[in-house]
Amino acid sequence: MANLIAVTFDDTKTAFDLRAALVELQSEYLIEMEDIVVVTREENDKVKLHQPVNLTAAGAAGGSFWGLLIGMVFLNPLLGVAVGAGAGALSGKLTDIGINDEFMKELGKGLPEGGAAVFVLVKKATADKVLDRLEAFRGKGKVLQTSLTKDSEEELRTLLEG
């Protein structure tokens, strides 16, 4: 079972720095994440999700490839690419993997203007080593929500909230 962790920051730079640090820890096999998203609240009260994979673009690319193949069979590859790209982009836009987008947008509305949050869905982690490596973020964030055990959540709060 995966655990959801949501941490807020007063600025976007710290949120993106945390995401980069967690991605680095994943490359070192200290944490295994299903999803990680930075949510920002911009000056016009718009909540924006910064996801690591753009499903719309990925769907368009895949749809273009399959559209080209099907178009070649029917002797109209350009039409096949156009239809495939459109169908793939629509499919990618409607697909949601990992953390629910509406849930993140709803919580993002409560961020201060110019603030950000990092939402992480963690499958497995070596907690003590991960917390040691995140020492640079001590006192910079606030734990908004977790599905961790009480002890693990308290350790995380102690680190991030100081």
H/E stretch holding 8: strand 3-9
- Determine phi and psi for 124, rounding to 5 degrees: -145, 155
Structure tokens at 15: 């949120």
CA 145 and chain centroid, separation: 15
Predicted confidence (pLDDT) per residue in 133-143, tens digit: 999 999 999 98
Q: Where are the domains of the chain?
A: 3-53+99-161, 55-94
pLDDT at 102 over 60: yes
CA distances, 75 to each of 55, 62, 69, 101, 146 (Å):
29, 20, 10, 40, 54
Number of residues in the chain = 162
The arithmetic mean of pLDDT across residues 16-22, rounded, is 93
Checking if the pLDDT of 54 tops 50, the result is no
Closest CA to 35 of 110, 123, 95, 135: 123
So what's the pLDDT on residue 51?
82
